């Protein structure tokens, strides 16, 4: 056991966060995201049953976001015509703000473009989050 490490972070996820370098990306995926097929060239970490906001909060305690890009976080945009209004995004903005990030620096990415970007991510974390459009992609920065 270690001190000051959020208990929600598994040893495998801690290892992945340590392995990632500046500019590498990680997807925190909801339960509907095709994690295994999209992540077939990435490290897929199973975090079944975990709510995504709690996991995002824990990850951001350790992972600096890239300050060299305008928008180091990306969300999957709602598909045109879908009436869904993801309330989880407001939670994400509050979590980003809590960790010193500008909550407006989030890129809205079309669904299939998000999948394509996720295919190039270092890792995909498959959570048990049940809310739709809850996927978030983070670009790792540097520790200063």
**Residues with catalytic annotation?**
22, 66, 115
7-22 in b/e burial notation, b at 16+ Cβ within 10 A?
eebeeebbebbeebee
| Sequence-separated (6 or more) residues with CB below 8 Å from residue 106 | 71, 73, 74, 75, 89, 92, 93, 96
């Amino acid at each position: 056991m270690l001190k000051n490490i959020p208990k929600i972070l598994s040893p495998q996820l801690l290892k992945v966060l340590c392995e990632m370098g500046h500019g590498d990306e990680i997807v925190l995926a909801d339960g509907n995201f095709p994690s295994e097929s999209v992540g077939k060239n990435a490290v897929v970490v199973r975090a079944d049953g975990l709510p995504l906001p709690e996991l995002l909060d824990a990850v951001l305690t350790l992972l600096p976001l890239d300050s060299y890009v305008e928008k180091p976080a990306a969300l999957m945009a709602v598909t045109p015509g879908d009436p869904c209004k993801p309330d989880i995004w407001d939670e994400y903005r509050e979590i980003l703000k809590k960790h010193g990030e500008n909550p407006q620096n989030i890129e809205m990415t079309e669904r299939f473009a998000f999948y394509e970007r996720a295919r190039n991510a270092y890792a995909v974390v498959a959570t048990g989050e049940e809310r739709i459009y809850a996927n978030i992609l983070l670009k790792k920065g540097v520790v200063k």
